[in-house]
Amino acid sequence: MPPYTVAELAERVAGSVEGDAERTLTGVAPIAEAGPAHLSFIQSDQYRRLLDAARPGAVLAPPGMEITRPDVTVIRVPDPQVAFGRLVELFKPPPPPPVGIAESASIGRGARLGADVTIGPYAQIRDGARIGDGCHIGAYTVVGESARIGRGCRIAHGCSVLHDVQLGDRVVLHPGVRVGTDGFGYAEGPSGAEKVPQVGGCVIGDDVEIGANSTIDRGSLGDTVVGDRTKIDNLVHIGHNVEVGSDCMIVAQVGIAGSVKIGDGAALAGQVGVAGHLEIGPGARIGAQAGVIGDVPPGAVYSGYPARPHREALRASAALFRLPRLVQKLQALERAMNARANGPQASDDDGKKRGTGS
């Protein structure tokens, strides 16, 4: 990895340089750990305070943020975190995937592989599957019958892309992802729960990324759909016939029950639970650990359980935290009222008891 000058890095992210544009950098690091040959970034005042004790060679910073350190070169960009992410791979490129088809891989009848496809050891490409140009299929991954995988996809080891699933172009599946598993469909029969056949499909759009050990069920009749550019974190479950729009963000341990519709650009924070057959509008934001049991309007910010507008949830939480003190005050008030109502009689009774005892 060659070193880069600040000017070269700034050109790659369309930034402007303040300071020594010819300074040479050899790596990237968090602001608190950066040294004179490192590039880092400052997104907010919290990071700027860390700069006082750090010694980075250069930092990416937003316009207007004051930086008074003359020894630090600054690259001004609108979004330092995004720009930093684009520059990281210059210094830390991902390891290249192996090339070719492993001898232990299994290719079924009628399967079609595009150009420059890599199939890892013990992977199974089953009958009728189609894999687009430039895809990488990791070791022990299963691509089911008649599945369709677009161009430039990266499917890590140990994944399952089951029968009739469709992946768009440039989809990334991290280890252990399961796409197209049976939905949780049962009906109450005379002898208990009877399974309802899950015969729908699962369609994943272009540029979707799905984190490790996440599961996306196929539809019971129609399709489960994930829109273009949506990003899904680790350990997320998406139930049958869910429709997730484009450009959504779904964070770790979210559970979405069947037939939910999530609009474009919505974001669900960690451990959100969504009950079935609901709608979350475009651009909505759901706070961590919220329990969604009703529809969420477009653009709304909800949190808490049951999920409600965020300000309302904060007021409810604040009131709940005051409850122990309020209970203590009520108990003290009750004792005072009882003493006032029964004071003379209570005093005579106490005197008799003391006299008897002597």
pLDDT in tens, 202-214: 999 999 999 999 9
> What does the alpha-carbon distance between residue 114 and residue 150 come to, in Å, rounded to a whole number?
9
| pLDDT level of residue 326 (50, 70, 90 thresholds) | confident
If we measure between CA atoms, which residue out of 240, 293, 301, 294 comes closest to residue 266?
301
Confidence (pTM): 0.83
Output the CA angle 134-135-139, nearest 5 degrees.
Answer: 140
Q: Which amino acid type is present at position 231? A: K
From the list 237, 240, 277, 310, the catalytic residue is 240
Q: What pLDDT is attached to residue 313?
A: 84
* 37 and 26 Cβ atoms separated by less than 8 Å: yes
The model's confidence at residue 92, banded by pLDDT at 50, 70 and 90, is confident
**Predicted confidence band at 31 (pLDDT cuts at 50, 70, 90)?**
confident
Q: Out of 70-74, 132-136, 176-180, 228-232, which region has the weakest mean confidence (pLDDT)?
A: 70-74
Closest C-alpha to 17, from 79, 84, 83, 75: 75
240 classed as catalytic: yes
Cis preceding-peptide flag for 297 (omega within 30 of 0): no
Cβ density class 204-213: b for 16+ within 10 Å, e for less: bbbbbebbbb
| Three-class SS state of 166 | strand
Look over the chain and give the mean of its residue pLDDT values, rounded to a whole number. 91
Rounded to whole angstroms, the Cα distance separating 141 from 244 reads 25
Structure-token pair, residue 74: 């600054």
| Rounded distance between C-alpha atoms, residue 77 and residue 62, angstroms | 5
